[in-house]
Structure formats: C-alpha cells, structure tokens
C-alpha cells in the first residue's frame, strides 16, 4: 500500500518528537523499544490523553517519568509542526516493531528503537548475506587495492556491503561496490539532513539511486559529534554476518567496531599488511587476538554459505595470476617482490633490487602497462593481484 507524502512527513515528525522526548527524559534504548511495542505505533502513543497516560503507565517506567515523557513528546511534536520543514521524498523511518526492521539488529541488547533511512531500500538489510568493510581514513595504495578487489568480489557474488560512509576505506568500499553493480548501505554518525562527511554527499545520493540505503539512528538535523561514532560503529558491526578490516594503523577507531562485532558473535576478519609499514598494525593486532586472517574473498565462505561465486572468483584470479606471472622475466618478478614489501620511489627500488635506474625504469614501464604496478604519490606500488589477494 502506497504512503502519501503527508503521511510520510507525519511519521518523520512523530519519530523525531519521540527521540527528542526520550533523550530529554533519559529513557534507555530497551525502554524505548518497550514503549513502541506496547503502543504498537507512535501515533497511538501520541493519541493517549492525559487520563489514559496516568492510568496506563507502563510497569517498566516510573509513573512520573512516563508522564514527563508523554508531555515532552507532545511539546516536541507541536514544535516540529510549527517549524514545518520540508524533507526529501525518499526519506523514511522504520520502527523496531516493523516487519522490515533489520533482523540482525534485533539480536543485540543495544538495538535502536527506530532508524531513519534514505533510499527506501530497507529490504537489503535483511538479505541473506551482508558483510561490513571498514578501515583507515588515510589508506595506503595497498589498502585501496585490497578494498577495491574485496568490494568488487562481494558485489559480484550478490553480497550487500555495509560501511560507515567515512573518507578512506569506507568510501572505497561503497564506491567499488556500486561500480560492480552491487548493493551497499552507509551508516552515518550524524543526521540524514546533515550527512557527514560533506565531501561524500554525492556518493550518498548515488547509493540511494542505485538500490542502496543510507541510514542513521540520530535526529535528522543532528550534527556529527564525537560520541556519535562509537554508537554508529555498533550498528556497522551488528548489521552484517561478519566484519572485515582491510587496513588500519595503530589505535585505529576500527578496533572499536571489531570489539562490537566480537561481542555480538560476528566473525572478525583482518587483512595482513607489510611488517615494514605501520598502516596495518591494528589488523595484525586483531589477528593476534583471534581474528581470522583474510587473504581473499573466498575466505568469507565460512560465514556466507552457498556463495560459491566467491570461491570460483578466487580460483579464476589465482589461475590468471599464476599464468601471468610465469610470463614475467626474473628481473620483473624481483621488482614485484620488492614492491610487495612496501611502496618505493625509483631510487629506493633501485637500491632494494640492486638494478640500475635505467633498466629499472624500463621494467616498471612494462609492468605498469600490463597492470602489475601503479604509481601513486610519487611511489611505485604493486597491485593487489601481486599480493595473491
């Protein structure tokens, strides 16, 4: 049944008023869910008159708290009505009691009472296979390549990719999923009317228009606050069947997401990096603490049963990689081995490989032409296929 624009706006006003009142009265997430479940809808909760409010105070809230909440709820709703703001047509709200609410979120104690979404594609959050991909905000070329390959393989296998919409690995996970015609969900640490980071506003629009979803549990005009992001991270961890950290340096915020994932019983995967670089120290720490080492998308089959496409894709790439490398000269293979240790300038690479700069320049030109090597920020780097990813 289609919902009119006025009904959608009414739902958004009621949802925001509910959050404002619940925040003001410091009502816990569990009690918020109970309020919605008992009333069956936000409209029913609003329609209760004062006498009914005093008579039907729920046993899980003190009577004075419930009465104060109900008064705040009405006041907030009336204030939002007076403001009469306009909202995008594809902006919707979903309650924890709705059939379309993400069932994986309902498994956790800190499940939100409601979610705002843009894109109207709520069904993707209940698809059979979801994987969260997170990592550094300042990834190396290696981290970028690994994320590109992983997102592409997951998208081609029909897996929904979840991430946080932040700059760096998050953005790459979303972009490469879309590039492979896949579905992706961005979980924001701000309100949907104030998407953060601002530089990704066009990306969020693309996600919505290409079958994806952008969600937030915060008020629509909530600015990005420091304390919002750990809350956002718990949703990223809970929404998926597993969490993958593709690259993260020491003391990375991704460790918070990994902790949530472990607490929720989700499998945690980490991609190893070079020991000569500090950009993968959090990944190595996670592996030491029991996270599964990820060498390719096929390793995710243990949490994605029936996704034989991932295994076939990995085997095809391995066959292609092995046959391709055998056609390389000994000098070219030596150059690739040096670049797999860490990116390098022409001079540094000459020192590592003990090859003259003139010969090395020709070898690099040939390797770049055949897709084995890239050059970024003045450094030569091996592409992900050379890491057997």
Which residue from 21, 146, 2 is spatially nearest to 80, judged by alpha carbons? 21
Residue 319 pLDDT more than 50?
A: no
* Pair 250, 345 in one domain: no
- pLDDT tens-place string over residues 75-129: 999 999 999 898 888 899 999 999 999 999 999 999 999 999 999 899 999 999 9
pTM, to two decimals? 0.85
At residue 304 the predicted structure's pLDDT band, cuts being 50, 70 and 90, is: confident
- pLDDT at position 56 is 59
* Pair 135, 73 in one domain: no
Residue 300 pLDDT more than 70?
A: yes
| 59 or 27, greater pLDDT | 27
Which residue from 122, 172, 376 is spatially nearest to 114, judged by alpha carbons? 122
Task: List the single range of 113-117, 183-187, 249-253 with lowest mean pLDDT.
Answer: 249-253
From residue 185, how far is each of 205, 226, 362 by CA, in Å?
A: 12, 21, 43
* Pair 374, 255 in one domain: no
Residue 5 pLDDT more than 90?
A: no
* Pair 235, 262 in one domain: yes
What are the start-end ranges of the E strands in the chain? 91-95, 114-118, 130-134, 160-163, 184-187, 213-216, 242-245, 267-270, 292-293, 373-376, 379-382
Residue 320 pLDDT more than 60?
A: no
Q: Please check whether residue 94 lies inside any domain of the structure.
A: no
* Pair 291, 267 in one domain: yes
Task: Give me 89's structure tokens.
Answer: 């047509």
Which residue from 244, 282, 268 is spatially nearest to 138, judged by alpha carbons? 282
Alpha helices (runs of H) in 84-217, residue ranges in sequence order: 141-156, 169-179, 201-209
Query: Cis peptide leading into 197, omega within 30 of 0?
Result: yes
* Pair 129, 203 in one domain: yes
Segment 355-378 shows an average pLDDT of 88
Which residue from 335, 322, 326, 342 is spatially nearest to 367, judged by alpha carbons? 335
Average pLDDT, the chain: 88
Residue 137 pLDDT more than 50?
A: yes
Q: How many domains does the chain have?
A: 3
DSSP codes joined into one string, 312-325? HHHHHHHHHHHHHH
Q: Please check whether residue 103 lies inside any domain of the structure.
A: no
* Pair 166, 302 in one domain: yes
* Pair 134, 224 in one domain: yes
Residue 231 pLDDT more than 60?
A: yes
- pLDDT at position 58 is 64
CATH number of domain containing 208: 3.40.50.450
Q: Report the Cα–Cα distance between both ends of the chain, in Å, rounded.
A: 46
Q: Please check whether residue 96 lies inside any domain of the structure.
A: no
Task: Give me 280's structure tokens.
Answer: 């993968």
Range of the structural domain that residue 27 is part of: 5-87
| 263 or 322, greater pLDDT | 263
Q: Please check whether residue 112 lies inside any domain of the structure.
A: no
Residue 323 pLDDT more than 50?
A: no
- pLDDT at position 3 is 56
* Pair 24, 69 in one domain: yes
What are the start-end ranges of the E strands in 52-139? 91-95, 114-118, 130-134
């Amino acid at each position: 049944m289609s919902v009119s624009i006025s009904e959608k706006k009414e739902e958004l006003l009621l949802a925001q008023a509910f959050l404002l009142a619940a925040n003001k009265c410091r009502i816990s997430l569990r009690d918020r869910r109970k309020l919605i479940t008992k009333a069956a809808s936000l409209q029913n909760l609003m329609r209760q008159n004062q006498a009914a409010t005093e008579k039907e105070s729920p046993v899980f809230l003190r009577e004075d708290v419930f009465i104060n909440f109900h008064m705040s709820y009405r006041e907030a709703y009336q204030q939002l009505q007076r403001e009469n703001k306009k909202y995008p047509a594809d902006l919707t709200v979903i309650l924890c009691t709705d059939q379309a609410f993400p069932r994986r979120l309902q498994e956790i104690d800190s499940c939100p009472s409601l979610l705002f979404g843009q894109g109207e594609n709520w069904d993707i959050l209940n698809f059979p296979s979801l994987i969260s991909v997170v990592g550094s905000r300042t990834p190396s070329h290696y981290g970028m390549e690994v994320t590109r390959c992983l997102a592409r393989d997951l998208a081609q296998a029909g897996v929904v990719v979840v991430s946080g919409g932040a700059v760096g690995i998050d953005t790459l996970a979303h972009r490469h999923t879309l590039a492979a015609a896949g579905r992706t969900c961005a979980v924001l640490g701000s309100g949907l009317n104030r998407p953060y980071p601002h530089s990704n506003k066009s990306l969020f629009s693309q996600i919505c228009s290409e079958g994806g979803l952008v969600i937030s549990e915060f008020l629509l005009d909530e600015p990005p606050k420091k304390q919002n992001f750990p809350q956002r991270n718990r949703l990223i961890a809970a929404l998926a069947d597993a969490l993958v950290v593709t690259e993260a340096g020491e003391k990375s915020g991704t460790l918070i997401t990994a902790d949530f994932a472990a607490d929720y019983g989700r499998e945690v995967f980490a991609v190893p990096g070079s020991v000569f670089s500090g950009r993968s120290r959090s990944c190595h720490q996670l592996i030491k603490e029991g996270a599964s080492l990820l060498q390719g998308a096929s390793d995710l089959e243990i949490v994605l049963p029936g996704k034989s496409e991932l295994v076939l894709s990995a085997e095809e790439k391995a066959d292609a990689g092995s046959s391709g490398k055998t056609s390389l000269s000994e000098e070219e293979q030596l150059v690739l081995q040096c670049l797999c240790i860490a990116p390098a300038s022409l001079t540094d690479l000459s020192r590592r490989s003990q090859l003259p700069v003139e010969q090395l320049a020709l070898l690099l030109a040939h390797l770049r032409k055949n897709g084995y090597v890239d050059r970024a920020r003045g450094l030569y780097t091996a592409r992900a296929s050379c890491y057997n990813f």
